[in-house]
Amino acid sequence: MKPLVSIIIPVKNGSNFLQEALNHIKRQQVDTEIIVINDASTDNTAEIAAANGCIVINHKVCKGQVAAKNTGVHKAKGTYIMFHDHDDMMRDGALKGLLEAMDAETTAVMGMVKDFYTSGLTEEQKHRSPIKAEPYHGLFTGAVLTRREAFEIIGDFSESINAGEIMEWEHRLSQNGLIIKKVDLVTCDRRIHATNYGKTNREKEFRDYAAVLRARILNARQCAK
């Protein structure tokens, strides 16, 4: 029996790029369920998702991307879970490659992402948002495939964190001896545009990362005693 992969897409007002993201996910030669968490959109995000056969969960009030991820995890039925942004594009064969790299000792497999500028950005906007020329590893949506059981071991994402939740979650993985395996496979093209979440929430992101790093340092000191 082939494993089921739950693809979780938290999104608010994603009608600009959602269809393209879904097209790429649906081309994967892997059994998937696509769960779209519609976080109080005011556009036709929910309609696009439903028309593509996605499982659609509607938040009547905006709860934010972290709470939306947790909602998706609680709904997921797959053996494996991947998070995906509505504005990125999964490369053909990505899920198959990540599944093939998964082994008995591994809890999560991390692929690579490749940045690209969306059409229509001015040179000034590109200058303010420089991208890496080569693919790179990171705890990005579209790049990390995780065993569902990991969430049963270490729990949900921390909803007290707005933007650094993946780093904090990864820290809990390592504290529990769970292994993330890196592979040199580009799995996702990461779209850079004027309204990326990380750009519009940069102050919160830096604050959250600082808090996570402080917690790591404190934990390391306590373990060293």
Q: Report helix, strand or coil for 89.
A: strand
Tell me, what DSSP letter sits at residue 63?
A: -
User: Between 222 and 214, whose confidence is greater?
Assistant: 214
Please report the pLDDT score of residue 196 as a whole number: 55
Environment class of residue 221 by beta-carbon count within 10 Å: exposed (0-12), middle (13-18) or buried (19+)?
A: exposed
**Domain region containing 107:** 5-162+172-195
For residue 139, the Cα-to-chain-centroid distance in whole angstroms is 8
Q: Is the pLDDT of residue 115 over 50?
A: yes
Sign of CA dihedral 162, 164, 166, 172: negative
Average pLDDT estimate for 47-74: 97
In which element (H, E) is residue 19 found? Answer: helix 18-26
Average pLDDT estimate for 82-105: 97
User: Between 121 and 71, whose confidence is greater?
Assistant: 71
Among the residue ranges 2-6, 34-38, 184-188, 200-204, the one predicted with the least confidence is 200-204
Indicate whether 40 belongs to any domain: yes
Number of CB atoms found within 10 A of residue 198's CB: 11
Percent of the chain at pLDDT exceeding 90:
67
Indicate whether 215 belongs to any domain: no
Please report the pLDDT score of residue 121 as a whole number: 83
Please report the pLDDT score of residue 205 as a whole number: 45
Tell me, what DSSP letter sits at residue 161?
A: -
Indicate whether 144 belongs to any domain: yes
- pLDDT tens digit sequence for 139-186: 888 999 999 999 999 999 988 887 778 888 888 988 899 999 999 999
Length of the chain: 225
User: Between 119 and 81, whose confidence is greater?
Assistant: 81
Q: Is the pLDDT of residue 199 over 60?
A: no
Please report the pLDDT score of residue 100 as a whole number: 97
Average pLDDT estimate for 64-76: 96
Please report the pLDDT score of residue 31 as a whole number: 97
d(CA 151, CA 165): 13
- pLDDT tens digit sequence for 20-40: 999 999 999 999 999 999 999
Mean pLDDT score across all residues of the chain: 87
Query: Domain total for the chain?
Result: 1
Nearest to 79 by CA among 130, 127, 13, 7: 7
Q: Is there a contact between 78 and 92 (Cβ–Cβ < 8 Å)?
A: no
d(CA 10, CA 157): 13
Here the tokens at position 108 are 């999560």
Please report the pLDDT score of residue 112 as a whole number: 97
- What band does 215 get if pLDDT is binned at 50, 70 and 90? very low
Indicate whether 208 belongs to any domain: no
| CATH at residue 87 | 3.90.550.10
Please report the pLDDT score of residue 97 as a whole number: 98
In which element (H, E) is residue 223 found? Answer: helix 202-224
Indicate whether 167 belongs to any domain: no
